[in-house]
Amino acid sequence: MLILMHKDATRRQIEAVCSHVKQSGLSPHEIPGSIRMAIGITGNQGALSPEQFAHLDGVAECVPVSKPYKLVSREVKPESTVVDIRGVKVGDGSLSVIAGPCSVESRDQVFRTAEAVVNSGVQLFRGGAFKPRTSPYSFQGLKQEGLRLLEEVRRQFDLRIVTEVKDAATLDEVAEVADVVQIGARNMQNFTLLENAGRLRMPVLLKRGMSATLKELFMAAEYLLSLGNFQVILCERGIRTFETMTRNTFDLSAVVLIKRHTHLPVIADPSHGVGIDWAVPPMARAAVVAGADGVMVEVHPEPAKALSDGQQSLTFDTYAKLATELNELAAWRTAHR
Amino acid sequence: MLILMHKDATRRQIEAVCSHVKQSGLSPHEIPGSIRMAIGITGNQGALSPEQFAHLDGVAECVPVSKPYKLVSREVKPESTVVDIRGVKVGDGSLSVIAGPCSVESRDQVFRTAEAVVNSGVQLFRGGAFKPRTSPYSFQGLKQEGLRLLEEVRRQFDLRIVTEVKDAATLDEVAEVADVVQIGARNMQNFTLLENAGRLRMPVLLKRGMSATLKELFMAAEYLLSLGNFQVILCERGIRTFETMTRNTFDLSAVVLIKRHTHLPVIADPSHGVGIDWAVPPMARAAVVAGADGVMVEVHPEPAKALSDGQQSLTFDTYAKLATELNELAAWRTAHR
Amino acid sequence: MLILMHKDATRRQIEAVCSHVKQSGLSPHEIPGSIRMAIGITGNQGALSPEQFAHLDGVAECVPVSKPYKLVSREVKPESTVVDIRGVKVGDGSLSVIAGPCSVESRDQVFRTAEAVVNSGVQLFRGGAFKPRTSPYSFQGLKQEGLRLLEEVRRQFDLRIVTEVKDAATLDEVAEVADVVQIGARNMQNFTLLENAGRLRMPVLLKRGMSATLKELFMAAEYLLSLGNFQVILCERGIRTFETMTRNTFDLSAVVLIKRHTHLPVIADPSHGVGIDWAVPPMARAAVVAGADGVMVEVHPEPAKALSDGQQSLTFDTYAKLATELNELAAWRTAHR
Amino acid sequence: MLILMHKDATRRQIEAVCSHVKQSGLSPHEIPGSIRMAIGITGNQGALSPEQFAHLDGVAECVPVSKPYKLVSREVKPESTVVDIRGVKVGDGSLSVIAGPCSVESRDQVFRTAEAVVNSGVQLFRGGAFKPRTSPYSFQGLKQEGLRLLEEVRRQFDLRIVTEVKDAATLDEVAEVADVVQIGARNMQNFTLLENAGRLRMPVLLKRGMSATLKELFMAAEYLLSLGNFQVILCERGIRTFETMTRNTFDLSAVVLIKRHTHLPVIADPSHGVGIDWAVPPMARAAVVAGADGVMVEVHPEPAKALSDGQQSLTFDTYAKLATELNELAAWRTAHR
């Protein structure tokens, strides 16, 4: 923490701040500047809160200088975390594709899609049974019936299931079917859900909130790790900006920053990131060469009839072509490591 | 819903779209334009989803023309809703001030603040027992102990208690102590919590999410009303923008738009909206003359020692002066209705 | 400037940074922390650029601690600047209303509006002759013809004219007619225009850019003051956010922060800030009690027929009622200083 | 244009609107809905302004349905525009790399960089002589001296020069040296500069404003095309969002949308887009496989000593490696067309 004093702060005010710092068991360091005094604080474990000092007389501003996250930080754990999903590794340098429909809608829909996914050589299947929806009048998922269908898919196709948990109350039943429990963007700061998911001992896919800074995403992941769940995969899925031609603004640079600042694997979700079917393949390709550990895409037998996210879902044909391209780019990437 | 066809859409494509509309039990209306054909759809109850039509051949864009919210809309219920909090009315044209500390920290802190609040003539007391925090390492509230202190305050000072619920699991215990259950910004789209709060039959204060559009806020309230809880108060508490000199950007125009588009009362929270103590009084005054039904402010005996939100909490002196000013402006407002 | 070293920075790297600091004629101060070393820099006049140090080995981050603006800062000049517009003072604690049409459209339109403005007791008249427009196909203003009409208004009604300058090439002719030269939001970082306006010796109204931080607004004003023009008025006119129900998000807290951090007068422009006629009066009232030195509103004889900004222009009746209210609130404000 | 009437609009109000539409020489089409009447308007050339109808009695909302841009639209001109820069083609499916320093700082710096650029096989050289800067106290470029150095580079290395024009006054001298005149983000809505550049008959690189929507970017380009300059290249360089860990948020999806909606070539500028040197290569690679016609990167002999943008400039080594990678990915892209 660095405390910046007002230009006109008196000697007495400066000393009072230093004395307050000492009383907190920390060490103050005066740094005289051309227009103001700054006071550096040392001796703290972890980050200090500006609130402790901002109200003292003569204080102009408090600038935090330590990062507030620890366990997720690559400074603390330099080697990359590899998450093992029943033998499928995410974060080991290979490319993990996760594909499937937005929502589980029917046995026919989910089985046809699973077949298309398996045929493309992909082992991770996404599909929502519980759907958080902006409107109370929208389709909210097949719920338990959806979980049963996912379980069937899991057994029949030997796919790993990535599915969203909507709340703490249904976490256990979701965790029973899922190989990866997904926490959606709107729940990124649902701390109760994070606490419950932190007590699981299985992979969690944590999506960035739609207006979450990367620091907030890291802190949300810190909830999971601090409770002992280290099998965490982060996911960039677009942020909210002023632009309205896309559903969200897909912040691909987040992938690069997540890899640099944390040791956790990161997945890109261009389907939600852009929200337009024809824009998904170029952004998925981009994610691979930018270094994403995986890409998640929505696929549907008939996007025009999807009960949710039809506008951003790929047909089987488009998906198959994309899967091939992504593999080629992943091979290129491996060759250039 | 208005469907805009591509400039080069063929006659056959236009007819296929019209036929698709008819199969959905709706009526298509061709509107030939100078550069493209538009197709208006009528016959629907409530809003249609663009997804049903966006993928048909020749369709360029689908423009929704009905509003997706119903029960909260002033078009549907023109008279303003008045929420009754054990005899204290919010939304009847008077000004409701809600004051108290961010968090309940100790018996002494909460009682001293309650006394200051009562002395200012205010009847609604805020204070958090469960605190959602960005960092797992920050103070998370006194929890059950905090609720007990709020209950004491409620009895001893005859104050109405506004306190936040963090999750569905603790809703019942919070609802027992609270006169108004507050749903915080990070939970605005916690749909499970909304569903549970919608089944309550007591007042709920719903804060706008930090990057929620007003339409999304209205849809979140629609969850509550559609489950039968009509005692809903909305709250503007600042939105996330690129500006970093303030904690959030306090969107005061939201107050005006909420009053126009819905029949629900609206409270302004300048403490979170701006996040700087000296900026709270001017913004609180502004909220009154802009038409807010109430103002919520954070007050603390010693802001410098607050365990949360110290930077934006008012001292008792500043608060007392502000309370007087707000009453004067409320009187001015009443005289000009 | 505070330089934060990497957790694993070597002693040699730290010393190399300190030595680099000394070579720049500045003084380094080592501040050992629990997880990393920080190096405070003193001895600089004005702000340093992080670029000078960010690339040295072992440096994790550079945190600027001095403010980059000087002449506009209230720290440097504590007393408020009062701008004198041919005898009309802005910034002296009184309220200055600026009213008039968005664009000068015709002799009839501008004269009828000027009469309504004068009748409300207002002395500052706005009206655009040169209109920057997003589309090349939109009405771009009457240009020189518009200036002539403004000159007539100025003489006939003894109004002070506030009118926008679109570029450096037309600055002289605009400055001849104007009492206040307005630099619009899209030109806030048109540095050539700022440099030319900085050489004027007459009042300039500088609008905040639609995505400008307050620091950037202050730096733009610094261009004007650093060239010797101290007659600068700042203007908040709404910023761009994700919200689409309003034209912009009117950041009223900017008024409070501008008054605190600079000595310059500040005007609120709720017409552009919100962009909806019925939302202008409440936001204008709010601006007064939040401490704005003035309020600028668009008025038009027939808003439905306006060539620009009709949706946010007030009728004469609404305007007259608003002007009275604003005066009452200004009187209240004076009584409470 | 689609006019939505209020739920309770009277028959008389509906007829008045229709009659107003007819008086404007257009045709109204009533579309009765379940809760309200809509009125479609046909017969217009180009887009209508909502302002003409929004104020009529009973009107709830006006929804524009035509796009406001014409000449830039791929609907109007389906084949892609290829810009010819003295024999170097941009937009023909190949990849154009533009490299060079942010600012021209000295003869040595610019010649060493030009040599590195030529050695990588790149033909387009960037470098700023006139630098728009947020602070009046920052380095503003070598100006005319900078232009002379660029001219030398152009002759000696046979490079095509891309350099920024800061204002209309210096456009001619810049255009004399430049092969491509660059209009920077802060000038995207400097309409006077656009008008002057529209009268040039040489390539213009138009950067997206830092908070410009894609529609606004298209309208800015429309200024250029409507004045007869069709040699326009668009450039995505990051937009302003709430995220502070990157300089801007690089909106790569813009590349995809620009290619789809316009016929103009598009360049990605990851240096400004992200603003961190180590994040530039992954984002540059991403831009290629997302379909950008070119990539612009900042290179400097000694980034730590750069007078501007040092933090985002690549060293020669990093640049050389990146150039090779980009060529490989461009070849991959060509093979998959």
Q: Residue C68's closest chain A neighbor by CA?
A: A35
What is the pLDDT averaged over residues D237-254? 97
What is the pLDDT averaged over residues B198-226? 97
The answer to whether B211 contacts A216, with C-beta atoms less than 8 Å apart, is no
Highest mean pLDDT pick, A192-196, B138-142, D134-138: A192-196
What is the pLDDT averaged over residues A16-36? 81
Note whether B100 and B271 are within 8 A (CB).
no
Q: Which residue has the tokens 């009562």?
A: B118
C206: alpha, beta or left? (left if phi > 0; alpha if psi -120 to 50): beta
Chain C residues in contact with D67 by the CB 8 A cut-off are none
Q: Does D242 touch chain C (CB under 8 A)?
A: no
Q: Does A43 touch chain C (CB under 8 A)?
A: yes
Residue A65 has pLDDT above 70, yes or no: no
Of C241, C256, C329, the CB nearest to B289: C329
The answer to whether A75 contacts C44, with C-beta atoms less than 8 Å apart, is no
The answer to whether D311 contacts C54, with C-beta atoms less than 8 Å apart, is yes
pLDDT tens sequence across C40-58:
887 766 667 777 788 888 8
Nearest Cα to D237, choosing from D273, D200, D206, D186?
D273
Dihedral angle over CA of C74, C75, C79, C83, nearest 10: -30
Size of interface A-B (CB pairs under 8 A): 113
Amino acid residing at D232 = V
Chain C residues in contact with A35 by the CB 8 A cut-off are 66, 75
The answer to whether C245 contacts B282, with C-beta atoms less than 8 Å apart, is no
Chain D residues in contact with B36 by the CB 8 A cut-off are 66
Note whether A208 and A192 are within 8 A (CB).
no
pLDDT of residue D47: 62
d(CA A13, CA A58): 6
What is the pLDDT averaged over residues B234-248? 96
pLDDT of residue B47: 62
Instruction: Give, in degrees to the nearest 5, the angle at Cα B130 between B129 and B136.
Output: 130
Of A38, A42, A240, the CB nearest to C33: A42
Amino acid residing at A84 = D
pLDDT tens sequence across D132-156:
999 998 889 999 999 999 999 999 9
pLDDT of residue B28: 85
Q: What is the 3-state secondary structure (H, E, C) of chain D?
A: CEEEECCCCCHHHHHHHHHHHHHCCCEEEEEECCCCEEEEEECCCCCCCHHHCCCCCCEEEEECCCCCCCCCECCCCCCCCCEEECCEEECCCCCEEEEECCECCCHHHHHHHHHHHHHCCCCEEECECCCCCCCCCCCCCCCHHHHHHHHHHHHHHCCEEEEEECCHHHHHHHHHHCCEEEECHHHCCCHHHHHHHHCCCCCEEEECCCCCCHHHHHHHHHHHHHCCCCCEEEEECCECCCCCCCCCECCCHHHHHHHHHECCCEEECHHHHHCCHHHHHHHHHHHHHHCCCEEEEEECCCHHHCCCCHHHCECHHHHHHHHHHHHHHHHHHHHCC
Of A243, A290, A332, the CB nearest to D283: A290
Of A4, A33, A44, the CB nearest to C42: A33
Of C31, C35, C240, the CB nearest to A40: C31
Q: Which DSSP string do the residues of B117-136 spell out, in sequence order?
A: HHHTT--EEE-BSS---SST
Amino acid residing at B294 = G
Chain D residues in contact with A252 by the CB 8 A cut-off are 250, 252, 283, 286
**B317 CA to centre of own chain:** 29
What is the pLDDT averaged over residues C68-87? 92
pLDDT of residue A296: 98
Q: Does A337 touch chain D (CB under 8 A)?
A: no
Nearest Cα to C188, choosing from C160, C145, C219, C232?
C219
CB atoms within 10 A of CB C113: 26
Note whether B250 and B218 are within 8 A (CB).
no
Highest mean pLDDT pick, B132-146, B174-188, C16-30: B174-188
Using N-to-C axis directions, what is the helix angle for B280-290 and B316-335, rounded to 10°? 20
Q: Does B33 touch chain D (CB under 8 A)?
A: yes
Q: How far is D175 from chain B (nearest CA, A)?
A: 35
Chain B residues in contact with A55 by the CB 8 A cut-off are 277, 303-304, 310-311
Dihedral angle over CA of D4, D7, D10, D12, nearest 10: 0
Nearest Cα to D99, choosing from D130, D127, D140, D129?
D127
Mean pLDDT of chain C: 93
Please provide the distance, in angstroms rounded to a whole number, between the alpha carbons at the two ends of chain D: 38
Judged by average pLDDT, the poorest of A157-166, B231-240, D7-16, D247-256 is D7-16
What is the pLDDT averaged over residues D181-189? 97
Note whether C204 and C194 are within 8 A (CB).
no
Burial group, residue B97, by CB count within 10 angstroms (0-12, 13-18, 19+): buried
d(CA A271, CA A276): 7
Q: How far is B23 from chain D (nearest CA, A)?
A: 17
Q: Does D309 touch chain C (CB under 8 A)?
A: yes
* Global pTM value: 0.91
Q: Residue B135's closest chain A neighbor by CA?
A: A219
Q: pLDDT grade, residue A46 (50/70/90)? A: low
Q: pLDDT grade, residue B46 (50/70/90)? A: low
The answer to whether D6 contacts B75, with C-beta atoms less than 8 Å apart, is yes
**pLDDT > 70 in chain D, percent:** 97
d(CA C250, CA C255): 10
d(CA C139, CA A168): 57
The answer to whether C336 contacts B329, with C-beta atoms less than 8 Å apart, is no
What is the pLDDT averaged over residues B17-33? 82
Q: Which residue has the tokens 């039968």?
A: B228
d(CA D70, CA B204): 50
Q: Residue B245's closest chain C neighbor by CA?
A: C214
Q: Residue B304's closest chain A neighbor by CA?
A: A55
What is the pLDDT averaged over residues A211-223? 97
Count H helices, E strands: chain C?
Answer: 10, 14
Q: What is the 3-state secondary structure (H, E, C) of A257-306?
A: HHHHHECCCEEECHHHHHCCHHHHHHHHHHHHHHCCCEEEEEECCCHHHC
Judged by average pLDDT, the poorest of A236-240, B59-63, C127-131 is B59-63
pLDDT of residue B309: 85
Note whether C161 and C100 are within 8 A (CB).
no
Chain D residues in contact with C54 by the CB 8 A cut-off are 304, 310-311
Of C69, C211, C310, the CB nearest to D55: C310
The answer to whether D290 contacts A278, with C-beta atoms less than 8 Å apart, is no
CA dist C138 → A116, C108, D37, D221 (Å): 51, 21, 29, 15
Q: Does D45 touch chain B (CB under 8 A)?
A: yes
CB atoms within 10 A of CB A47: 18
What is the pLDDT averaged over residues B124-128? 98
pLDDT tens sequence across D73-83:
998 889 999 99
The answer to whether B54 contacts A310, with C-beta atoms less than 8 Å apart, is yes
Residue A243 has pLDDT above 90, yes or no: yes
Q: Does C240 touch chain A (CB under 8 A)?
A: yes
DSSP letter, residue B104: -
The answer to whether D310 contacts C186, with C-beta atoms less than 8 Å apart, is no
What is the pLDDT averaged over residues B272-280? 95
**pLDDT > 90 in chain A, percent:** 77
Structure tokens at B273: 């909206």
Residue D52 has pLDDT above 80, yes or no: no
The answer to whether C279 contacts B256, with C-beta atoms less than 8 Å apart, is yes
Q: pLDDT grade, residue D92 (50/70/90)? A: very high
**pLDDT > 90 in chain C, percent:** 77
pLDDT tens sequence across D156-167:
999 999 999 999
Of C215, C246, C286, the CB nearest to B286: C286
Structure tokens at D101: 């320093």
Structure tokens at B197: 């709060």
d(CA A249, CA C52): 32
